[in-house]
Amino acid sequence: MPVKITATITVLIAFVLGLAVLMNYAKFERTFNGLMQSRLAFLVQDLRDTLEFGLDLGLDPAAMANTAAILTREAAHDPHILSISVFNEQGHILYQYQSKLLDPHPVTPLTPAWLETVLQTASKTPQHISDPETLMVGIPLINNFGRTVGGLILRYDRSFHDQELQQTLFNLIRAALLILIAASLVALLSVWLLFRSTRRELRQVRIALEDFLENQQRPASPHAGDSVLAALEVAAEQKSREFQQRLILANRILRLEQRLAGQAPHGSERQHEGV
């Protein structure tokens, strides 16, 4: 019984902990994705402001010689940046920074569809695109006349993002397992202590019932009981029955003597009358 109750409590605790892990992981994933998107958006917006300063001076995107140095300097702040590409309004890559991580493990090249998505954006809001390998953030380059003259796309290593999520999920599961083990031990100990006195009382009641049934099945005798009190009780009952029998016999003898005494005077009177 205690094992079944403990197993039931453990299953309920595991269900609650599982829900807690899923809810906390979903909340963390949503928050972490939001922070990652905000960080990447800040990077591309900072690069856009730097590049658009040259455009405001009337320079053509292809003529800005310091663009490559700007991209390299910005990428040096984060080793997980895989590439930063600057392209014109026709979708041709003008400047591009590529991380050394791409040398042994090249990623999928930018497609015209991605470039077109960034160029067609009417506002300066960063556009977030992702694939199984990278996280991409794109933003258009707009000159001081409000005309889109190109765009900027930053590609970030998705493995860092996925590893952080997996590590968090692993930590949540490990914490839940530790809590489950501790709660199961506490539940087992509590149930055992709770049913310990109950089992002892039930055992005593069972023994008493077995003794009672056994005594009912045996014939009444001085040795029927297992205790001295039971033997004395049986002996007292026998003495009482013997005393009652002797009392009845004495009453019978007394009545017989009275009858005999009553008949003796009548017999003597009859003899005198005959004489």
What is the Cα–Cα distance from 212 to 139, expressed in whole angstroms?
A: 93
What is the Cα–Cα distance from 31 to 17, expressed in whole angstroms?
A: 21
| Same domain for 247 and 142 | no
195 found inside a domain: no
| Same domain for 102 and 9 | yes
Phi, psi of 144 (to 5 degrees): -70, -5
| Model pLDDT for residues 182-208, shown as the tens digit of each residue | 988 888 888 887 777 777 777 777 777
63 found inside a domain: yes
Give me the domain span that covers residue 236: 223-262
| Same domain for 170 and 227 | no
88 found inside a domain: yes
Tokens at residue 4, please?
């079944």
Domain final residue, candidates 117, 139, 174: 174
Q: Across residues 83-94, what is the average pLDDT?
A: 82
Closest CA to 37 of 120, 154, 151: 154
207 found inside a domain: no
Which has the higher per-residue pLDDT, 242 or 165?
165
Phi, psi of 141 (to 5 degrees): -105, 120
| Same domain for 160 and 80 | yes
| Model pLDDT for residues 12-50, shown as the tens digit of each residue | 999 999 999 999 999 999 999 899 889 888 888 888 888
Q: Across residues 92-108, what is the average pLDDT?
A: 72
DSSP conformation letters of 228-263? HHHHHHHHHHHHHHHHHHHHHHHHHHHHHHHHHHHH
150 found inside a domain: yes
What domain count does the chain have? 2
Mean predicted lDDT score pLDDT of the chain: 78
| Same domain for 145 and 12 | yes
| Same domain for 97 and 11 | yes
pTM of the predicted model as reported, rounded to 2 decimal places: 0.60
Looking at residue 22, what is its pLDDT? 93
Looking at residue 177, what is its pLDDT? 93
Looking at residue 101, what is its pLDDT? 67
| Model pLDDT for residues 57-69, shown as the tens digit of each residue | 666 666 677 788 8
CB 80 within 8 A of CB 156: yes
From the CB of residue 125, how many other CB atoms can be counted at a distance below 10 Å? 11
Looking at residue 254, what is its pLDDT? 74
Looking at residue 226, what is its pLDDT? 52
Closest CA to 13 of 158, 243, 142, 188: 188
Closest CA to 137 of 68, 84, 66, 178: 84
Looking at residue 266, what is its pLDDT? 52
| Same domain for 91 and 13 | yes
